[in-house]
Amino acid sequence: MVNKNLKRFYAILVFIFLYAPIIVLIIYSFNDSKLRGSWNGFTLKWYYELFKNKEALRALYYTLIIALSSSIISTVLGTFAAIGIHGMRGLNKKVILNLNYLPVLNPDIVTAVALMALFRLAHINFGLFSLLLAHITFSVPYVILSILPKLKQMNVYLAEAAMDLGATPFYSLRKIIIPQILPGIITGALLAFTLSIDDFVISFFTTGHGISNLSIYIYSMARKGINPIINALSTLMFIFMIVLLLIINYRSEKTEKLIEERR
Amino acid sequence: MKFKNIGYPYFLWLGIFILIPLLLVAYFAFTTGDSQNFQTFSFSIENFKRFFTPIYLNVLYKSVNLALISTVICLLIGYPLAYIISKEKPRIRNIMILLVVIPMWMNFLLRTYAWLTLLGKNGILSKALSYIGFNNVQLLYNDTTVLLGMVYNFLPFMILPIFSVLIKMDNRLLEAARDLGANKRMVFTRVVLPLSIPGVITGITMVFIPAVSTFVISSLLGGNKSTLIGNLIEQQFRYTNDWHFGSAMSIILMVFILISIALSSKFDKDKEGKGGGLW
């Protein structure tokens, strides 16, 4: 059918638009020339230089430290908060939910300058610690939003039955509630991790002298112009993201299958 | 439920790191004085007066204008694609939607940076243009490039919510419409399109908000010529150190966005946003 081919053609065009810049970037990370216009042959030298570049490595180190610690803390905080919110009713619940939505809806730059003002007023040094606080703040809402639907699906009476049968609240939380909402918790944790790795705007305003994550590093390099080292870095980050995404995709397919089987 | 109390640590966190900072911004916005010395503050609406002068209003106008245009372009490109994908067989559909999602997960600075490689002085596109006789065309650093950057960065955020509404649509409704004599076009305009509005609205907010408040895209692709409201706020906080004026602009931006969200949710009859969400 002509119509069908036309539709496919349109889809391919849009995908070319989405992927051409990324692919060009990846190809040029193997180009043995600093000038991007010409292809001077295959090389891995930009990758070598990347791994010799102390600044880039330090940025990678900070990115991972912040992403790991902020995602762990915000997952714990968010899980408890979601369970607490789920048990609330009325106006209180509405207020908390709307407050929780604020960082999601607000432009990043507003959240960023607001946190910057707080840290300055509270005399918190701008650095790794303020960065961590900021990342937790913008991650928790997403963790909560990915756990709340799972809590809605959960059978409310199971936890109550467990407590009637003598389980302490903490025991029933650990043995009944957490296992049931685990998929939501894991999704939330992965989301928090990737949000943290990806963040630029909020980090840019809340970090201190000498502490930069990969995004800030890329920004400061990109402002100076093109640098093949960033191409190499982009390629590695791109591959890392794809692997992470495939894992998440595989996981969600697996849980879907599990749910199907249980039915 | 007996677990109400375990949420309190985070509720405290909400108060300290979300509510108080925003109140602080509001406080800064309505005061003047030395930003670094809280003793010197005094109440004033000077910052807002300063903003409502032609120079700054023009910047706001330009930001909103560029964001609106890029939202419309994203909608025009994204809706047909979301529709096409939703009609594909499951296998192809899953691959295509993964292809939409991958760029969303890629660091958006890298996505913006990628265009520098394409459009830069020695980039592929200017080389290609010079082959057909256009020498030294400056592709970078103008408003069109900024627009391109916005569309490129935010297009997936338009496609995905529309797709997730379309895919959940009850096929029986379409069959019923056809049984009742609607032709293809009528099925689309009278059934599919109205039912997909929640997804469209989610898409519009997800493109418009980051687009209107960006400062990265304009500073990387627009150079010094392209100043948006995001750039102004960044300058006040990072360089000029006039936090009062910066806060006033943040408040204006925030109010502007909250109003547009409220307006768009008016169109969205389905308040719970069935399938409008991203995750």
Q: Domain residues of chain A, as ranges?
A: 55-227
Which pLDDT belongs to residue B272?
45
The two tokens of residue A74 are 């915000």
Q: Spell out the residues 6+ positions from residue A54 whose beta carbon is closer than 8 angstroms to its own.
A: none
Q: Spell out the residues 6+ positions from residue A152 whose beta carbon is closer than 8 angstroms to its own.
A: A86
Measured between CB atoms, which of A80, A146, A191 is closest to B10? A80
Domain A55-227, architecture per CATH: Orthogonal Bundle (1.10)
Which pLDDT belongs to residue A34?
67
- Quote the ipTM score: 0.85
Task: Spell out the alpha helix ranges (H) of chain B.
Answer: 8-14, 20-29, 46-51, 54-87, 90-105, 108-119, 124-131, 143-168, 171-179, 184-186, 193-195, 197-213, 216-221, 229-235, 243-267
pTM of the model: 0.86
pLDDT per position in chain B (279 positions), as tens?
Answer: 456 688 888 999 999 999 999 999 999 999 887 766 666 777 888 888 888 889 899 999 999 999 999 999 999 999 999 999 998 888 888 889 888 988 887 888 888 888 887 887 767 777 777 777 666 667 778 888 999 999 999 999 999 999 999 998 888 888 898 889 888 888 888 889 998 998 999 899 889 999 999 988 998 888 777 789 999 999 988 888 888 999 999 999 998 888 888 887 776 654 444 433 433
What is the distance between the alpha carbons of residues B145 and B116, in angstroms, rounded to a whole number? 10
Place of tokens 């039912």: B195
Torsion of CA A199, A202, A203, A209, to 10 degrees: 160
The two tokens of residue B136 are 């030294």
The two tokens of residue A190 are 């992965």
Q: How far is A108 from chain B (nearest CA, A)?
A: 8
- Domain regions of chain B by residue span: 1-44, 56-266
Residue-wise pLDDT for A122-175, tens only, equals 888 898 999 999 999 999 999 999 999 888 888 878 888 888 888 888 888 888
- Which of A19, A34, A46, A110 has the highest number of chain B CBs within 10 A, making it the mutation to test binding with B? A110
Give me the residues of chain A with pLDDT under 50, please: none
- Vertex A112 angle, CA B253 and B217, to 5°: 70
Please name the residue of chain B whose CA is at the shortest distance from the CA of residue A6: B84
Which pLDDT belongs to residue B184?
84
A contacts of B2 (beta carbons < 8 Å):
87, 163, 169
- Which of B1, B89, B145 has the highest number of chain A CBs within 10 A, making it the mutation to test binding with A? B1
Are B110 and A25 in contact (CB < 8 Å)?
A: yes
Instruction: Determine phi and psi for B274, rounding to 5 degrees.
Output: -55, 115
CATH topology of domain B56-266: MetI-like fold (1.10.3720)
